[in-house]
Amino acid sequence: MAVVSTPAMSGFERRAVLSLTSLYAFRMLGLFMVLPVLTLYGDSYPGSNAFLLGLALGVYGLTQALLQIPFGSLSDRLGRKPLIAFGLLLFAAGSVLAASAESVYGLIAGRALQGAGAIAGTIMALVGDLTAERNRSKAMASIGVAIGVAFALAIVLGPAIARSQGLSGIFWATAGLALVGLVILFTLVPNAPLRPPAAKLPLGQVLKDPQLQRLNIAVLVLHFALMASFVVVPGLLLGELEIDREQHWLVYLPVMLLSFIVMLPFIIWAEKKRRHKPLLLIACALLLLAEGLFALSGFWGLGLLAGLLIFFIGFNMLEASLPSLLTRMAPMAAKGAASGVFSTYQFFGTFAGGACGGYLLGQFGAGALFALCAVLFVALAWVGLGMSGPPAVSTLFVDVHTSRLDRAEAELKALSGVREVLLARDQAVASVRIIEAEFDEAALQGLQLDAPAA
């Protein structure tokens, strides 16, 4: 009987992670290029003001939030790739609309349509489909690094394109990157080896899970603070440090690279020692410190640079670890739905951060915005105190003879330490999630499921 459970990534997993990382990076590159320049160049649109530019920055997150759960749930039924392809096409269409905008309202509409391509949760679920739990953190960390590299490239390319082509040039570039993503999807990304069964866990069960909810709240706060801070930070670099907007990449690039170097040992420590709760609390402390340094930037200009570095160390810690925890804790049959809920919170945070950041900046100044982010990080640390670590589980792929399909699921579930079983009848393979400390592999071998029924 063929049982696959490897501590190192298999060739199949490496191919899956590399291709999905590339797909994610190209999509996020298009998204991030607008981040450091929209509030700097957007004031040239008729009717623009601080609130509307903040809305243009964050409305992408609103449509993402509204559609992540439908995309994730449909991907459980229809497959991951069709939903990802549809989302990339919507993202490209929104980019074209934004590139053609002649007013701030057209810009907002284009950003909203970009966000309608709500595929982040579906991609996350596909990563979960194509990797075993023990390799999941490596896969998510790879995607996290790719996001960071995309951000670093974006803060170099975005200002350069905006300087020569304006914001419309950035949006035309994002449309092209979405089409590159389609090519990657259909030529490099492997198909998921298992198809979930027709019966699904109710969405309400996913929503009520207290551990998943803690992860959802964490990602909401994280992306609220990111978007709100970037309503203000580009202006501070320009005003307080007198760094020309075309030179902002000289700040962002070393900050991102340094933050990854510092963050990586913490991620390795948390994964090896199963210390995810302390990691979350450390990240909250760093993010809280960063907001304090942002607030002091008017009195101490270098505090802004220190704040940026500390902010992205904490941000990248959570950005790499939260999705990994989610895919380990979510039930296999509802992985797409759980990822959709997670991404809904993430992008609602993006929307709220942009909109609230623009409003607070216009009405009360930057200090009020930084104070709100600081309060949210304190609240997140309190929520994190109740978080438990990921279960010690693994996934085994077990061949099943066609004559044994009708009773294989019941036989597998009867084994000690078996937590969940998904049976893909068309492929004659069972995916078995086990509790490592309780599982008896000899009992599994004794079933001889790949042999014909007696």
Q: What is the pLDDT of residues 101-117, one digit of tens each?
A: 888 899 999 999 998 88
CB-based contact 389:276 (threshold 8 Å): yes
**pLDDT higher than 90, residue 182:** yes
pLDDT band for 332, please (50, 70, 90 cuts): low
Look at 341 and 422; give whichever has higher pLDDT: 341
Sign of the Cα pseudo-torsion (16, 18, 22, 25, in order): positive
pLDDT tens digits along 47-96: 888 788 878 877 887 888 788 888 877 887 778 889 999 999 999 999 99
Q: Give the SS3 label for residue 159.
A: helix
**Which range, of 124-128, 135-139, 205-209, 275-279, averages the lowest pLDDT?**
135-139
What gap in Å lies between CA 114 and CA 120, rounded to an integer? 13
Distance of CA 86 to the CA centre of its chain: 18
Instruction: Return the number of other C-beta atoms located less than 10 Å from residue 430's C-beta.
Output: 23
Any residues with CB less than 8 A from the CB of 302 and at least 6 apart, and which? none
**In the chain, what are the domains?**
3-384 (1.20.1250.20), 393-447 (3.30.70.100)
Q: Give the SS3 label for residue 37.
A: coil
CB-based contact 59:94 (threshold 8 Å): no
pTM for this prediction:
0.70
> Can you count the helices (H) and strands (E) in the chain?
16, 4
Alpha helices (H) along 274-333 = 276-295, 301-329
What gap in Å lies between CA 307 and CA 292, rounded to an integer? 8
For the beta sheet containing 393-399, the strands, ordered from the edge strand earlier in sequence to the opposite edge, are 3-4, 393-399, 429-435, 418-424
* Average pLDDT over all residues of the chain: 80
CB-based contact 144:271 (threshold 8 Å): no
Instruction: Return the number of other C-beta atoms located less than 10 Å from residue 438's C-beta.
Output: 12
Question: Of 125-134, 175-184, 419-428, 434-443, which one has max mean pLDDT?
Answer: 175-184
Quick one: average pLDDT of 305-309? 90
What gap in Å lies between CA 445 and CA 449, rounded to an integer? 8
